[in-house]
Chain A
Amino acid sequence: MKLPPRRWLLWGALLALVVSLLVVLVFLAAEYEQGRDQSALEADAASVVSDIRNGLLRNVQTLQSLHSVSPSPFAWEAPAAEVLALHRELVRLEWRDNAFKPRVARDSPYQVEPFGVLDREQALPDLRQACDNARRISGPAYSPSYFWPMSGGRGLELMELCLPLVRGGQPVGFLVATYSLPGLLAELPNPDLLRSRGLAFTEADGTRLALHSSVSSRRTLVASALLDLPGHTLMLRLESPRAVYALFPNVLTAVVGVLSLALLAVLGLLARDIGRRQQAEHELAQALAFRKAMEDSLVTGLRARDMDSRVTYVNPAFCQMVGFTAEQLIGTGLPAPWWPPELVDEYQQRQAVRLAGQSLPREGWESVFQRSDGTRVPVLIIEAPLIDARGEQTGYMSAIIDLTEQRRVEEINRASQDRLQATARLATMGEMASMLSHELNQPLAAMSSYATGSLNLLDDSQGPLPVAELRQAMQRIAEQAERAGRVIRSVADFVRRREQVREVVAPAALIEAVQPLMALQARKQGIRVVVDIEIACPQVLCDRTMIEQVLLNLARNGMQAMPEGDPSTRSGLRVLTLQVRALRPPADDALRKPWVEFGVTDHGQGLSEDVAQKLFTPFFTTKVEGMGLGLSLCRTVIEQHGGQLNFDAAKPRGTVFRFTLPSGTGERLSSAP
């Protein structure tokens, strides 16, 4: 399957969007996790700070109580040692007088000679600053922290607490407690909070002052909190290794991930589905194009109608056949636009019968369509029920075959056959004259030659008369005269022979015999032929071939009197009627046989007086190609049968030709009428 570039672009954009959405989702989920960790750490840092502060406060109280119980330097040392033993964060306790002279001091038992390397008095400026603060605020105050080197290259970050001692409203000196910052970190916070975390004091700029523990990981979360003490502020830094999350660190991310995967999968399925659909569409389009080409190439017209006989589909061949466009035809009902106006009633009935009857003849039926320009098209219709996918009939599909060409060939065939027949008949009647003249010419020419020759001999004065020659000539003349006589006799014989072939025929059979030839011309001229034979009409005695010829002649004349457009199709007068009825003999002559009258009625222009008078004259004709023998021969034939041929004006217009024939019951008519 090949996609246009635009579609690839769309798909690419969609994929990029989905992927970036997923990345963002995963990132946000991770961020959220991290944020949660961070805030947990910060809460922990705050609680560590508060632990330390509480510890320091408790220590201040312990130290104050130490002084209230033991006011003398001697009694002070023992409880101080006890305090030092209990509080590992304290490095040294000192009692100094107002001039900062040490009165008594005690070191922590946990530190080995903390002031061995450097003299204690070196820390005096820090100490003094703290004590000045303490006196000013009349409460404990802390000094800034400072680094104190110790033996072995070690050192401690220390911070002094100065507690002013007051007795009776008078300052009596200071209690100085030296804190080790690492000690503070180790002792005061809740150890549960410090598990696998790094804790340190730092300067504001991040320089580490004291370290309790550190984390080895490089990716760490850091929370800082301020430990605000009177006189000094320390920065506490709590570090926690950043949790090394898997790709899906927890349920949320997992859900997002799974959803994303599902989304991708759905996307993939969708793409495949669209692909298949496009394939199917493509195939459908191919099939449609194939079908269309097939329908367009057909010369057979196709037409579908629904159950209400409305047209639902037509193919180009059908449109061409009836001369309407598909748009004009779709949706039209009955009467269909291609029905000839005068046949609408007939077609309506036929349609009703067909719909009621259910059975559709497989071989189809013939019909006539009228094109939009008014010309007629003979067609063969083959109809089949249209069954939909649910097996219900939704209408009818018809194949319509244009029979024009076929008809034309038929017509040419019939016409040539017709001509042949006519020629044959003329040989018996009309052309016989020509034959006769030739046959008689020969002996006459010979006789004339002999006669002239004889005269020549008689006129020739030289020598005696050639009697023998003259005798021979006379003999030849006699021979030729006899020959001419034979010709005349054969004609008489022929006429007699025809009279002998009379037979008893039903009038219907006579009409039936000429019906195909009549129908051919009628169809061509859009004329309807109506045959009306009286019930119980007797049979007639006649020369069948001759009478058929007469019938055909009269019918043809009648149809020629109705050229296309006169009378018009709309008038309903384009009808040729063949009527047969018995002429009952008058009551007083019951013995006579009845006669049968044939009538051929047209609705043409009728006959003018002039034409009517000359109608039966031989060689009179109104037709360009006519010989003018038809009607006179017809009359001769009818008169030979003892009947009469006459004509009359027809109602409302046109002419009716009537001829009579004797009825017959099987016995032969006397040979001469």
Chain B
Amino acid sequence: MTPHPDARIYLVDDDAGVREALAWLLRTRRLLSVGFDSAEAFLAELQSWTREPDVPCCLLLDVRMPGLSGLALFEQLLALPWQAAMPVIFLSGHADVPTAVDAVKRGAFDFCEKPFSDNALVDRVEQALQRSAQELAQRSARRDMQQRMDSLTERERDVMRLVIEGLPNKLVADQLNISVRTVEVHRSRVFDKMGVKSAVELANALRSA
């Protein structure tokens, strides 16, 4: 499968040679990358962003760097709400392997030991981008659902809750102390606003969100 044409790969490594070489390699696989020579530089870039990324992205992060280390940067990223949308792949030297393994346990996407088998690394990058795309889609679906929910009135939300529980209109009317007719009106409006056609569909949509 081909990745998103606008997918972004962020490369953080203090060694310019390694950075350029990787960027060049990725380009040969039609992947765009942006290099940063330190964790601090990448953090500065992050701060300039006004909203969370809307295209798939991933981060290639060197473990051992002067200044803020790769691991410390990862710690800070974990605090971001959309961190899952930007998978992190650690690049490590021989001595840093245990550190990198530890990082994977804490949620990093993967680690690659230097010197790496390059195309394998690029494959992992593509998988990471795929994961990122999924995550982004899920986030946007969730956001959409939230917006639909927000558009419901108080009464409509009550009706929806009872409908999802599987109560027939009659019982819903009894519980809310309103007429069956009114329940029917609310119900059709809820289906309308939530973009679904049946109660089962509605329940599924809510569960996935």
Query: How many whole Å from A485's CB to the nearest CB in chain B?
Result: 14
The reply on B22 being an interface residue by CB < 8 A is yes
| Chain A residues whose C-beta falls within 8 Å of the C-beta of B25 in the assembled complex | 449-450, 452-453, 456
**Interface 9-residue window, one of B72-80, B111-119, B178-186, B201-209:** B111-119
Give 1 or 0 for each of B1-41: 1 = CB within 8 Å of chain A CB: 00000000000000101101110110111000000000000
Structural contact, B18 and A445, CB atoms closer than 8 A: yes
Query: How many whole Å from A551's CB to the nearest CB in chain B?
Result: 30
Give 1 or 0 for each of A435-459: 1 = CB within 8 Å of chain B CB: 0011001111111111111101100
CB contact between A446 and one of B20, B28, B29, B95 (< 8 Å): that residue:
B20
Structural contact, A473 and B24, CB atoms closer than 8 A: yes
Tell me, in angstroms, the Cα distance from A616 to B14 when the chains sit together. 39
Tell me, in angstroms, the Cα distance from A133 to B81 when the chains sit together. 166
- Chain A's closest residue to B113 (CB) is A441
Asked, given contacts A437-B93, A453-B24, whether A442 binds B17 with beta carbons under 8 Å apart, the answer is: yes
CB contact between A449 and one of B24, B64, B94, B95 (< 8 Å): that residue:
B24
Chain B facing A: main interface SS = helix
Tell me, in angstroms, the Cα distance from A658 to B174 when the chains sit together. 101
Asked, given contacts A449-B18, A450-B21, whether A438 binds B118 with beta carbons under 8 Å apart, the answer is: no
Tell me, in angstroms, the Cα distance from A446 to B94 when the chains sit together. 16
Give 1 or 0 for each of A580-600: 1 = CB within 8 Å of chain B CB: 000000000000000000000
- Chain A's closest residue to B26 (CB) is A453
The reply on A480 being an interface residue by CB < 8 A is yes
Structural contact, B94 and A437, CB atoms closer than 8 A: yes
| Chain A residues whose C-beta falls within 8 Å of the C-beta of B22 in the assembled complex | 449
Tell me, in angstroms, the Cα distance from A449 to B25 when the chains sit together. 6
| Chain B residues whose C-beta falls within 8 Å of the C-beta of A451 in the assembled complex | 118
Asked, given contacts A445-B116, A453-B118, A479-B17, whether A434 binds B24 with beta carbons under 8 Å apart, the answer is: no
Query: How many whole Å from B21's CB to the nearest CB in chain A?
Result: 4
The reply on A476 being an interface residue by CB < 8 A is yes
CB contact between A450 and one of B24, B64, B119 (< 8 Å): that residue:
B24
Structural contact, B17 and A443, CB atoms closer than 8 A: yes
Structural contact, A438 and B21, CB atoms closer than 8 A: no
Tell me, in angstroms, the Cα distance from A480 to B116 when the chains sit together. 16
Please count how many residues in chain B sit with their CB below 8 Å of the partner chain's CB atoms: 20
The reply on A635 being an interface residue by CB < 8 A is no
Tell me, in angstroms, the Cα distance from A446 to B119 when the chains sit together. 13
| Chain B residues whose C-beta falls within 8 Å of the C-beta of A447 in the assembled complex | 21
Tell me, in angstroms, the Cα distance from A192 to B195 when the chains sit together. 167
Tell me, in angstroms, the Cα distance from A648 to B172 when the chains sit together. 96
Tell me, in angstroms, the Cα distance from A114 to B64 when the chains sit together. 168
CB under 8 Å from chain A, chain B span 161-193: none
Structural contact, A457 and B94, CB atoms closer than 8 A: no
Structural contact, A445 and B21, CB atoms closer than 8 A: yes
Tell me, in angstroms, the Cα distance from A450 to B17 when the chains sit together. 10
Tell me, in angstroms, the Cα distance from A65 to B150 when the chains sit together. 182
Query: How many whole Å from A480's CB to the nearest CB in chain B?
Result: 6
Tell me, in angstroms, the Cα distance from A443 to B115 when the chains sit together. 9
| Chain A residues whose C-beta falls within 8 Å of the C-beta of B119 in the assembled complex | 452, 456
CB contact between A480 and one of B17, B64, B118 (< 8 Å): that residue:
B17
The reply on A460 being an interface residue by CB < 8 A is yes
| Chain B residues whose C-beta falls within 8 Å of the C-beta of A437 in the assembled complex | 93-95
Structural contact, B28 and A453, CB atoms closer than 8 A: yes
CB under 8 Å from chain B, chain A span 126-142: none
Asked, given contacts A438-B64, A453-B24, whether A446 binds B93 with beta carbons under 8 Å apart, the answer is: no
Tell me, in angstroms, the Cα distance from A480 to B17 when the chains sit together. 7
- Chain B's closest residue to A457 (CB) is B28
Tell me, in angstroms, the Cα distance from A476 to B15 when the chains sit together. 14
The reply on A483 being an interface residue by CB < 8 A is yes
Query: How many whole Å from B48's CB to the nearest CB in chain A?
Result: 28
Give 1 or 0 for each of A414-444: 1 = CB within 8 Å of chain B CB: 0000000000000000000010011001111
Tell me, in angstroms, the Cα distance from A456 to B31 when the chains sit together. 13
| Chain B residues whose C-beta falls within 8 Å of the C-beta of A476 in the assembled complex | 17, 20-21, 24
Structural contact, B95 and A438, CB atoms closer than 8 A: yes
Give 1 or 0 for each of B88-101: 1 = CB within 8 Å of chain A CB: 00000111000000
Query: How many whole Å from A244's CB to the nearest CB in chain B?
Result: 122
| Chain A residues whose C-beta falls within 8 Å of the C-beta of B28 in the assembled complex | 453-454, 456-457, 460, 469
| Chain A residues whose C-beta falls within 8 Å of the C-beta of B115 in the assembled complex | 441, 444-445, 448
Give 1 or 0 for each of B114-148: 1 = CB within 8 Å of chain A CB: 11101100000000000000000000000000000
4 closest cross-chain pairs (CB), A and B: A452-B118, A449-B21, A446-B21, A453-B25
Show 22 A/B contacts (Cβ-Cβ < 8 Å), sorted by A. Answer: A437-B93, A437-B95, A438-B93, A441-B94, A442-B15, A442-B17, A442-B114, A445-B114, A447-B21, A448-B115, A449-B21, A449-B118, A451-B118, A452-B25, A452-B119, A453-B24, A453-B27, A469-B28, A472-B24, A476-B20, A480-B17, A480-B21
13 further A-B contacts with Cβ under 8 Å, apart from A444-B114, A448-B118, are A437-B93, A441-B93, A442-B114, A445-B21, A446-B18, A450-B21, A453-B24, A453-B25, A456-B28, A473-B24, A476-B17, A476-B24, A480-B21
- B residues with CB within 8 A of A: 15, 17-18, 20-22, 24-25, 27-29, 64, 93-95, 114-116, 118-119
